[in-house]
């Protein structure tokens, strides 16, 4: 294999910058070769801005405990350079600190600069000043754009060099990425797109780092770029260079959530199946996107209509809890992959069909004759028993892969889950001596009106005789852009506004006459595709003389994906404003002189800052269902260390701040579709983002993450809400997220660990049966046979403990012999 190896040697002079040991990163078609060791890499995406620096060590350690070798993250241009040549790398934007913590944990890192990132991030990660630069065209052969992209890329690379973050400097970064999924849309850009991608490759190489560069979803990636795969399945992917390793940069662990959308779920069995098939078919690197999704704080959510939660159904949930059984099932998968690593990277490979849908792949070490096998069943309905001759017969469930040590002993199957399922609950943090919740006193509220009257009188900051694109007019510093015109003198008209979304509040002479959003305009069906346009129609009564028409246009995250996505119209642009009366009494006000004001006065005056004295807070007659209203309250920090969430049922739509730090947008009145959810998801068969949905008919997002680092330990906390459409704050609550119930259905021959969270203990064994129990978590029942002492044994091992380990075997449950059967242990327990 040595002749086909590609080596990345130390750049001259870099060795002098670091006293650490330099690590050489090489590769061939079968392995990444790191410091001379042939490896397959298991990685996971954790985006540093979607959590907090205080969360990073715990997230990274849980990733390591879950069997990961590396952590991947994008670099988000718009938050690092919000204004041209003004940079911010503080707080949760300190990616250098993040990578150093990754290294401290003994993990590698993958640097995905982009700098276009998609990531369901606002505007795909591009700063708005870039869009508004004269003469620029994004992501194509445009000199202005390429210059800006090169300046930022060089800035990031140099910061990494200065911090000795590259492997060749003794740092953790083993791979770097330029551009992102351009191959998916490159055809629309023609020859200019082809020239652009060649320039990207040359610019990346010119950065003079020693580590390999990758391009995902780029089938014509120029050498020495390595093209990689993104998707739910990549086992059939082949890199365009036969010398390149087969790498999967985004294995989608779930999907993102939309306002008004159902919750996406991807089963642990299917995710494990996809990974196992990938490595069975020559895979070298698998990266989970996401391993921890996190939270879209502030206005970082893209879309449009991407929710504040970016949980992604990842192995670590939005708050950093283990998402079980996914985390534990993958951990066991990773251990099996590492057990097979020397065979995957050094072995002679032979694959043969055992029967329809069932393939056996044998990896043999020529020097010793040692073997390792993977036996896969790609049928999405049929279970099969494969006869491997002298190595034995093996039952392979549908849509699964079995790992066979020495090709004769099953050590793992992707469809057999032997880890607990954690049923998470939200509850008040205080409990009595019996573990029962103690509800705190209701929050006491103050309020202040949004001082919008000057805006509604047409007192804007600039004027134009046309309707402008909201991105360009606002610079995307706010969700809100108010446009006014006052040259209207007709009576009894119908106001008709055509807009490209995402929401609209219409005022006549300072009074709100109606509001509308894209989803509502589509007949309560979730908007699909890229069309967020809608029409607003409302009969209005105008007074004699001049009238002021005010249109408050609202965005809910900017587009982040697609060819020319940056040019998609936003707001009132390409729409129209008509006033239709009887007969010919109609006015087209589209080209009237319009006065523009960006943002709200409360935003400019920082009402969200608890130290601001600009708001006139009032504690009497706190209103409900009043649009454009600010609310304020204070509370003590919930006790303990469990994640804190803010429940906002009763509120309409708006933005929340805790002690001046943005939690993000809220919108609990956006209700998920009432149909299309799966009560019992079948893991078998190809996954897509519409499969296994949950949460039908409920608010698409009820709970909002409040990182504990946002809270004060010794003084009261201040919660401030801006309510846009009208709500009632009296049911707002602060709770914690914890494990309420644990369940398992583990196979004989495995060790089953049950655990609670924080200081909670296993207080009750609700069900236990070793035999052939039936049902699932929440509905277990006895089967045809069981060990009569099942409950007693589990109670003895687990009751009153924060965790316990059960050897799932006949001897544990006092059975001398049941013959040639494989039994299971089903358990359901309560944590208090």
8 Å CB contact between 470 and 598: no
Contact criterion met (CB below 8 Å) for 363 and 373 = yes
Tokens of 203: 């610019």
Q: Is 7 a catalytic residue?
A: no
With tokens 């079995």, the residue in question is: 402
DSSP-assigned states of every residue in 686-730: ---TTTT-B-TTSBS--EEEE-GGGS-SSS-EEEEEEESS---GG
CB neighbourhood size of 811 (10 A): 8
Cis geometry, peptide bond prior to residue 366 (ω within 30 degrees of 0): no
Distances (CA, A) of 114 to 80, 111, 179, 204, 255: 13, 9, 4, 11, 21
Cβ neighbours, 10 Å, residue 609: 16
Catalytic residue among 211, 250, 450, 642: 250
3-class DSSP state of 335: helix
CA distance 518 to 1: 57
Q: What share of the chain is helix, strand, coil (3-state, %, to 5)?
A: 20, 35, 45
Do the Cβ atoms of 642 and 758 come closer than 8 Å? Answer: yes
Helix (H) or strand (E) holding 59: helix 56-65
CA nearest 734: which of 766, 710, 752? 710
Question: Distance (Å, rounded) from C-alpha 721 to C-alpha 807?
Answer: 51
- The DSSP result for 203-262, as a single string, is HHHTT--SSPEEEET-TTPPTTPEEEEEES--TT---SSTTS-EEEEEEESS---BTTPP
Question: Any residues with CB less than 8 A from the CB of 541 and at least 6 apart, and which?
Answer: 491, 492
CA distances from 232 to 17, 188, 253, 630 (A): 41, 24, 8, 43
Only one residue has tokens 């949004």, namely 450
Helices 56-65 and 95-104 sit at what angle, rounded to 10 degrees? 40
Distance between CA atoms of residues 805 and 810, nearest Å: 15
Decide if 436 contacts 427 (C-beta within 8 A).
no
Where do we find the tokens 């006491």?
A: 444
**Residues 6+ away with beta carbon under 8 Å from 410:** 394, 402, 403, 404
The alpha-helical segments, DSSP class H, found in 428-573 are: 453-456, 470-474, 518-521
Both structure tokens of 554: 């609202």
| C-alpha separations of 367 from 214, 340, 346, 377 in Å | 33, 16, 10, 30
Active site residue 148: no
Set 181, 211, 318, 642: catalytic member: 181
Could you give the CA distance from residue 152 to residue 150 in angstroms, rounded to a whole number? 5
| Cα separation, 204 vs 176, whole angstroms | 9
Instruction: Give burial (CB, 10 Å; 0-12/13-18/19+) of 789.
Output: middle
| Cα 615 → chain centroid | 35
CA dist 417 and 273 (Å) reads: 12
Handedness of CA 322, 325, 326, 328 (dihedral sign): positive
d(CA 446, CA 457): 27
Residues with catalytic roles: 181, 250
């Amino acid at each position: 294999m040595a002749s086909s190896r590609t080596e990345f040697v130390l750049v001259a002079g870099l060795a002098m910058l670091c006293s650490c040991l330099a690590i050489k990163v090489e590769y061939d078609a079968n392995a990444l070769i790191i410091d001379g060791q042939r490896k397959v890499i298991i990685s996971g995406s954790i985006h540093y801005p979607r959590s907090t620096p205080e969360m990073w060590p715990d997230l990274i350690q849980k990733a390591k405990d879950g069997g990961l070798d590396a952590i991947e993250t994008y670099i988000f241009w718009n938050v690092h350079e919000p204004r041209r040549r003004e940079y911010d790398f503080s707080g949760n934007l300190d990616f250098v600190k993040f990578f150093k913590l990754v290294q401290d944990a003994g993990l590698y890192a993958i640097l995905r600069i982009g700098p276009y990132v998609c990531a369901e991030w606002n505007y795909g990660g591009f700063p708005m000043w870039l869009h508004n630069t004269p003469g620029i065209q994004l992501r194509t052969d445009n000199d202005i754009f390429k210059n800006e992209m090169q300046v930022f890329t060089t800035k990031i690379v140099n910061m990494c060099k200065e911090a000795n973050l590259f492997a060749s400097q003794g740092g953790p970064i083993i791979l770097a990425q330029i551009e992102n999924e351009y191959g998916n849309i490159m055809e629309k850009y023609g020859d200019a797109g082809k020239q652009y991608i060649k320039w990207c490759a040359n610019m990346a190489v010119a950065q003079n780092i020693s580590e390999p560069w990758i391009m995902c979803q780029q089938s014509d990636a120029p050498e020495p770029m390595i093209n990689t795969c993104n998707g739910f399945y990549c086992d059939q992917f082949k890199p365009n260079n036969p010398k390149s390793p087969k790498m999967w940069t985004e294995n989608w662990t779930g999907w993102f959530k939309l306002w008004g959308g159902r919750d996406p779920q991807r089963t642990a069995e299917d995710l494990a199946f996809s990974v196992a098939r990938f490595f069975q078919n020559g895979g070298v690197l698998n990266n989970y996107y996401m391993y921890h999704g996190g939270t879209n704080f502030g206005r970082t959510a893209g879309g449009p209509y991407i929710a504040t939660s970016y949980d992604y159904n990842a192995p670590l949930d939005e708050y950093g809890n283990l998402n079980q059984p996914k985390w534990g099932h993958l951990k066991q998968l990773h251990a099996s992959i590492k057990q097979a690593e020397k065979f995957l990277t050094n072995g002679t490979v032979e694959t043969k069909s055992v029967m329809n849908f069932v393939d056996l792949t044998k990896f043999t070490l020529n020097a010793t004759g040692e073997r390792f096998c993977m036996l896969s069943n790609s049928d999405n309905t049929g279970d099969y028993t494969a006869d491997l001759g002298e190595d034995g017969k093996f039952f392979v469930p549908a849509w699964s892969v079995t790992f066979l040590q020495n090709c004769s002993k099953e050590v793992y199957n992707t469809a057999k889950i032997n880890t607990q399922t954690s049923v998470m609950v939200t509850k008040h943090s205080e409990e009595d001596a019996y573990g029962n919740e103690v509800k705190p006193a209701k929050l006491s509220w103050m309020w202040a009106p949004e001082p919008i009257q000057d805006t509604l009188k047409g007192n804007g900051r600039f004027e134009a005789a046309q309707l402008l694109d909201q991105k360009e007019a606002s610079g995307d510093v706010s969700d809100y852009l108010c446009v006014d015109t006052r040259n209207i003198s007709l009576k009894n008209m119908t106001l008709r506004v055509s807009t490209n979304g995402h929401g609209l509040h219409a005022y006549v002479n300072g009074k709100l006459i109606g509001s509308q959003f894209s989803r509502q305009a589509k007949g309560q069906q979730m908007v699909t595709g890229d069309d967020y346009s809608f029409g607003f129609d409302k009969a209005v009564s105008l007074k004699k003389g001049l009238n002021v028409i005010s249109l408050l246009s609202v965005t809910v995250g900017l587009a982040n994906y697609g060819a020319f996505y940056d040019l998609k119209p936003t707001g009132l642009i390409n729409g129209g404003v008509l006033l239709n009366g009887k007969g010919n009494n109609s006015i087209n006000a589209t080209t009237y002189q319009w006065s523009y004001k960006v943002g709200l006065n409360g935003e400019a005056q920082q009402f969200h800052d608890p130290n601001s004295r600009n708001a006139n807070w009032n504690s009497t007659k706190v209103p409900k269902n009043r649009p454009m209203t600010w609310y304020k309250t204070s509370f003590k920090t919930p006790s303990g260390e469990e994640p804190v969430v803010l429940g906002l049922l009763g509120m309409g739509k708006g933005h929340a701040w805790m002690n001046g730090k943005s939690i993000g947008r809220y919108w609990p009145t956006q209700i998920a579709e009432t149909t299309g959810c799966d009560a019992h998801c079948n893991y078998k068969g190809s996954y897509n983002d519409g499969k296994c949905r949950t949460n039908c008919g409920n608010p698409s997002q009820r709970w909002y993450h409040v990182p504990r680092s946002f809270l004060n330990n010794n003084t009261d906390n201040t919660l401030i809400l801006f309510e846009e459409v009208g709500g009632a704050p009296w049911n707002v609550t602060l709770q914690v997220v914890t494990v309420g119930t644990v369940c398992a259905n583990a196979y004989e021959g495995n060790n089953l660990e049950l655990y609670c969270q924080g200081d909670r203990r296993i207080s009750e064994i609700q069900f236990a049966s070793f035999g052939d129990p039936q049902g699932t978590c929440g509905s277990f029942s006895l089967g045809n046979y069981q060990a009569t002492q099942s409950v007693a044994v589990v109670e003895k091992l687990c009751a009153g403990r924060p965790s316990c380990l059960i050897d799932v075997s006949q001897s544990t449950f006092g059975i001398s012999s049941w013959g040639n059967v494989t039994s299971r242990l089903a358990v359901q327990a309560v944590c208090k």
